[in-house]
Amino acid sequence: MKLSVIIPVYNEERTIAELISRVKAVKLNMEIIVVNDGSVDGTSRILDTLDGITVINKKNGGKGSAIREGITAVTGDVIVIQDADLEYDPNDFVMMLDVMNKQAADVVYGSRVLHEGYEISYRRYYLGGKLVTWTANLLYGLNITDEPTCYKMIKTDLLRSLNLQCSRFEFCPEVTAKLARRKIKIVEVPISYFPRTIEDGKKINALDGFEAIWTLIKYRFVR
Ligand SMILES: Nc1nc2c(ncn2[C@@H]2O[C@H](COP(=O)(O)OP(=O)(O)OP(=O)(O)O)[C@@H](O)[C@H]2O)c(=O)[nH]1
Ligand SMILES: [Mg+2]
């Protein structure tokens, strides 16, 4: 099985090179697709110097639009989303893929909450994540612990068939909602998490949290 790692990136000059070298260090059959979402800092220049990756340059449209563009270029059997920061540990791909194979699952989510010693950056992000997860469980009868996790590993054919419409951070709730509507099982595994601060470049905010909840409601009640 070949893993396709999609990395949406917008203005991450401080972390992109280190992140890509960490992903490359993972011993798996994989391809790395970096979607540069109209970065205006040094990101593009850094990407030009790196080899062994596929780079797609596009006009800025948000994380969801970047991922959708990335999906069209994938040649692997399984896709995982990797942010261009250092909040997650790509070594967790190995275990996630293993669980996917052993449990014959189509979808594996890495849960930060299930990991012992879960680190919290800001209380509001933690609570926001909890609220989004709780809403997803309530609306779709799920029983997951970390809906907004970046580490969503999904079979390529399945992810393509979801016909995603998202542009920004509503990627996560749209995927979860559409999987749940089809009654596709989401297997969760514990993953490590090293939260970054807003000064470090974290971009998501409270409005994105409300948009996530609205997206969950929309796909629950509207076709
Ligand atoms: N804000 C923003 N981020 C983008 C855009 N395009 C791609 N990204 C990338 O999306 C990723 C997530 O941004 P973060 O600010 O770390 O947000 P987060 O809280 O980790 O968000 P999630 O993991 O998506 O829940 C980063 O790798 C960004 O570089 C864009 O247009 N705007
Ligand atoms: Mg992040």
Q: Tokens 């399945």 identify what position?
A: 158
pLDDT > 90? residue 59? yes
CB 23 within 8 A of CB 90: yes
CB 24 within 8 A of CB 32: yes
Rounded distance between C-alpha atoms, residue 99 and residue 79, angstroms: 14
pLDDT > 90? residue 189? yes
Q: What is the 8-class DSSP label of residue 127?
A: H
**Per-residue CA distances from 128 to 134, 189, 220 (Å):** 10, 21, 20
pLDDT in tens, 128-149: 999 999 999 999 999 999 999 9
CA dihedral sign of residues 11, 206, 180, 118? positive
CB 86 within 8 A of CB 120: no
Across 97-117, average pLDDT: 96
Counting ligands in written order, the one closest to the CA of 206 is 1
> What pLDDT shows up at residue 223?
67
**Ligand 1 geometric centre to CA of 148 (Å):** 12
Q: What is the 8-class DSSP label of residue 8?
A: E
pLDDT > 70? residue 200? yes
Atom of ligand 1 minimally distant from the CA of 203: 15
- The CATH code of the domain that includes 151 is 3.90.550.10
Across 201-211, average pLDDT: 91
Across 30-52, average pLDDT: 98
Across 25-45, average pLDDT: 98
Helix boundaries (H) for 51-122: 63-73, 92-102
Q: What percent of the chain has pLDDT over 90?
A: 91
**Ligand 1 geometric centre to CA of 117 (Å):** 24
* Structural domain count of the chain: 1
Confidence of residue 117 (pLDDT cuts 50, 70, 90): confident
pTM (2 decimals)?
0.96
pLDDT in tens, 190-199: 999 999 888 8
Nearest to 81 by CA among 9, 5, 17, 194: 5
Ligand 1 binding pocket mutation candidate from 6, 7, 10 (most atoms within 8 A of CB): 10
Ligand 1 binding pocket mutation candidate from 46, 58, 83, 174 (most atoms within 8 A of CB): 83
Counting ligands in written order, the one closest to the CA of 84 is 1
Supply the range of the domain harboring residue 79: 3-221
Going by CA atoms, what residue is nearest to atom 12 of ligand 1? 83
> What pLDDT shows up at residue 118?
86
Rounded distance between C-alpha atoms, residue 75 and residue 37, angstroms: 20
User: What does the mean pLDDT of the chain come to?
Assistant: 96
Q: Which two tokens stand for residue 71?
A: 């999906």
**Ligand 2 geometric centre to CA of 64 (Å):** 13
Give me the count of residues in the chain: 223
Q: What percent of the chain has pLDDT over 70?
A: 100
Least confident of 51-60, 118-127, 170-179, 208-217: 118-127
**Residues with a CB atom less than 6 Å from ligand 1:** 8-10, 12, 37, 60, 62-63, 66, 83-85, 87, 148, 150, 169, 202-204
